[in-house]
Chains A and B, each alone.
Chain A
Amino acid sequence: MRRAVNVRVGPVTFRIGSDWAAPVAAVADLYRDYPPAAPVPDLTVRLEAPRQWRRWLRPQVAVTGDFGLPGMVPLPLAHGLLAAEMGMNLQMALGHRRHLLLHAASVERDGAALVMTGESGAGKSTLSALLAARGWRFMGDEFALLAPDTGLVHAFPRPVSLKNESIAAVQWDGARAGPVLTNTPKGTIRHLAPDAAALAASDRPARAALLLFPRFGQPPSVRPVPPGEAFARLTQASTNYVALGEAGFRALVRLVRAVPAVAVDYPDTESGIAAVEALWAG
């Protein structure tokens, strides 16, 4: 790797290395206000040409690193920032063992965390960014890190990945936008680096106070989720539940026993925010 930069997100330092300068520069710019990174990374992402000639001719970026999955399709060099973000997700999902990883967005208010988990498209990223714009502390839109020993949720405040219509829908003062990436496999994408308050507090964990299972584009509905169902859903939402063994089991049992869970269907973003605020107040 000819170029590299270390970035720290919450408790994890990544080293992003590449054959090209552009993706590394894009990462360095998007993460420039993040807290200082450790000199030795926890996880490494490599953005390399899948074939030697692909460095020059219609250059393509293959995402590799400490851990890999077969069959990942290379991206065009213009999407190098997206490749780096995907690579960080992949390395976390496959390699991180210090916390139980929940595929969830989380925000915090008064030391208590709201954890929102759901399939891609459920609205986690948009809801978390809009709540952050309304004064909540943004903790992350991809992974919530549940500490097996304390049961606390640790922040992993990566830049929010906004897609398509969400890009215009989110106005978040203090967040810094990355470049608009068009024609990606997920449509148009723009990353928003969290505001200074979220970054300054990124080492402060929070006690989970409410678990939400949101679903965007559905008729409005609010339904309490019993602990057994929440447990089953969260095992599915965790990328390293099996790898953590009994520690992961204990952490999840503790979470679903202590924290109420609610499934929220909402037709549009505005009603989703209203439903979340009402549940939090109630």
Chain B
Amino acid sequence: MAAEPLDALVAIYHRPSGTTHLLVEPAPAILDVLAGRWLDLPELRRALSDRYEVSGSIAALAERLDELVAAGLVERA
């Protein structure tokens, strides 16, 4: 996956599917933290907090994660 910040939008090129996505935060941060590893929701929240300023509920994070799964950018274990 290639991620290129343009402004508020981050352009993502997803190599396995050849599709391009334009994402706003926190989606690029979630992809960054999840890259190459499996995390459950609490682990993801902790990992995000380690690297980024995180606000919002865990339910909101779950919703963002569902959107990324639907877009084919995150795989559910």
Contact = CB atoms under 8 A, between A and B. Distances in A.
A106 B18 CA distance: 28
B8 interface: yes
Contact of B2 (A231, A241, A249): A249
B11 A249 contact: yes
From DSSP, what is the main secondary structure of chain A's interface residues? helix
A228 B6 contact: yes
B7 interface: yes
Nearest to B15: A246
B20 A235 contact: yes
Interface string B1-35: 01010111101010100101010000000000000
Interface in A221-253: 226-229, 231-232, 235, 241-242, 245-246, 249-250, 253
A212 B21 CA distance: 23
Nearest to B9: A228
Interface size class of B (residues with CB under 8 A): 10 to 19
A253 B10 CA distance: 10
B11 A226 contact: no
A231 B10 CA distance: 10
B6 A253 contact: yes
B24 to A, nearest CB: 9
B13 A249 contact: yes
A241 B9 CA distance: 19
Given A232-B22, A246-B15, A227 B7 contact: yes
A253 B20 CA distance: 11
Contacts of B18: 242, 245
A256 interface: yes
A257 interface: yes
A226 B22 CA distance: 13
A257 B11 contact: no
B20 A228 contact: no
B20 A249 contact: yes
A245 B6 CA distance: 19
Contacts of B7: 226-228
Given A228-B11, A246-B13, A246-B15, A253 B22 contact: no
Interface in B17-64: 18, 20, 22
Given A246-B2, A256-B6, A257-B6, A231 B11 contact: yes
Given A227-B7, A228-B8, A231-B9, 15 more contacts: A226-B6, A226-B7, A227-B9, A228-B7, A228-B9, A228-B11, A229-B9, A231-B6, A231-B11, A231-B22, A232-B9, A235-B20, A249-B20, A253-B11, A256-B6
26 contacts: A226-B7, A226-B8, A226-B9, A227-B6, A227-B7, A227-B9, A228-B6, A228-B9, A228-B11, A229-B9, A231-B6, A231-B9, A231-B22, A232-B22, A235-B20, A241-B20, A245-B18, A246-B2, A246-B13, A249-B4, A249-B11, A249-B13, A250-B2, A253-B4, A253-B11, A256-B6
